[in-house]
């Protein structure tokens, strides 16, 4: 039986984690139909038993999502280079999507006062048994391939290549389709369902973008760009602690503009 899922792995400088990623993806209880590695230079492309799409220089965090338009499956999962999913992650994403149509993430953020300065974390960052509605998701994304046309259509901040793709996808789907972003359940006692089993163990090394000078400032620019464009946050709709529970309000309340 076909799973209808393609997986895109990302590499840049953290090639040492790729074998573990591939092993984890191949061990999924729901087997992906395709696995492709998106490699942003400058290091030589990895030699692995799956297709590799390699650029000679770093194209940034945005183009990998557009490449996923090349897939012909119903669903796509994109994983950051520090993200090792548990063996039931794709199973978890499908189950979550069946109940809550939207962008599913391994980690999620709620901007509790509307700015980047007060952030509440969910997913693997704060394990729990519930689906949580959040403002943006990251580290791992699970979505319907057809939604990428809205990712491509929506204007993005100019001149920023290393930040903002997580904002952009969540904003695009909210604005055009009225879809929210969610973190799937991450039960504390069952990491087989987690989107990232290593947490900050892999994401806190010297290659981490967030540790690069000026990156937080770029993210603030991105945040303000989408806020000026009318992006609605949970905290603007009421008590975010209540609204983060996915059945707290109907989907129509987060719609800014319906697709034609």
Residue 214 placed within a domain: yes
Q: Are 168 and 154 in contact (CB under 8 A)?
A: yes
Q: Are 79 and 10 in contact (CB under 8 A)?
A: yes
pLDDT in tens, 54-66: 987 778 888 999 9
pLDDT of residue 56: 79
Residue 191 lies in a domain: yes
Rg (CA), the chain: 17
pLDDT (0 to 100) of residue 57: 78
> Count of domains in the chain?
1
Q: How far apart are CA 123 and CA 83, in angstroms?
A: 13
Say if 79 falls within a structural domain: yes
Q: Angle CA(13)–CA(19)–CA(23) in degrees, nearest 5?
A: 140
Contact yes or no for 106/100 (Cβ under 8 A): no
- Domain for residue 260, yes or no? no
Question: 128-183 pLDDT, tens per residue?
Answer: 999 999 999 999 999 999 999 999 989 999 989 888 999 999 999 999 999 999 99
Give a yes or no: residue 259 inside a domain: no
Q: Is the pTM of this model over 0.85?
A: yes
Q: 238: domain range?
A: 5-254
The CATH number linked to 170 is: 3.90.550.10
Secondary structure (DSSP) of 18-69: HHHHHHHHHT-SS--SEEEEEEESSSPPP--SS-EEEESS---SSHHHHHGG
């Amino acid at each position: 039986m076909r799973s209808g899922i393609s997986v895109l792995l990302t590499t840049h400088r953290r090639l040492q984690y790729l074998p573990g990623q591939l092993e984890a993806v191949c061990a999924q209880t729901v087997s992906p139909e395709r696995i492709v590695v998106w490699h942003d230079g400058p290091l030589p492309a990895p030699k692995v038993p799956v297709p590799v799409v390699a650029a000679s220089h770093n194209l940034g965090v945005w183009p990998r999502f557009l490449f996923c338009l090349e897939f012909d499956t119903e669903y796509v999962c994109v994983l950051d280079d520090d993200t090792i999913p548990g063996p039931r992650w794709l199973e978890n994403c499908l189950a979550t999507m069946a109940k809550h149509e939207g962008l599913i993430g391994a980690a999620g953020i709620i901007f509790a006062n509307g700015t980047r300065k007060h952030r509440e974390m969910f997913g693997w960052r704060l394990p729990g048994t519930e689906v949580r509605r959040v403002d943006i998701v990251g580290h791992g994304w699970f979505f319907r391939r057809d939604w990428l046309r809205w990712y491509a259509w929506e204007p993005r901040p100019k001149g920023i290549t290393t930040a903002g793709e997580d904002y952009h996808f969540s904003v695009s789907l909210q604005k055009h389709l009225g879809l929210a972003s969610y973190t799937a359940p991450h039960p504390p006692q069952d990491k087989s369902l987690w989107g990232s089993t290593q947490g900050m163990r892999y994401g806190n090394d010297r290659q981490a973008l967030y540790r690069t000078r000026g990156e937080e400032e770029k993210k603030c620019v991105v945040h303000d760009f989408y806020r000026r464009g009318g992006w609605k946050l949970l905290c603007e709709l009421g008590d975010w602690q209540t609204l983060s529970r996915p059945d707290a309000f109907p989907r129509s309340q987060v719609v800014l503009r319906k697709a034609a």
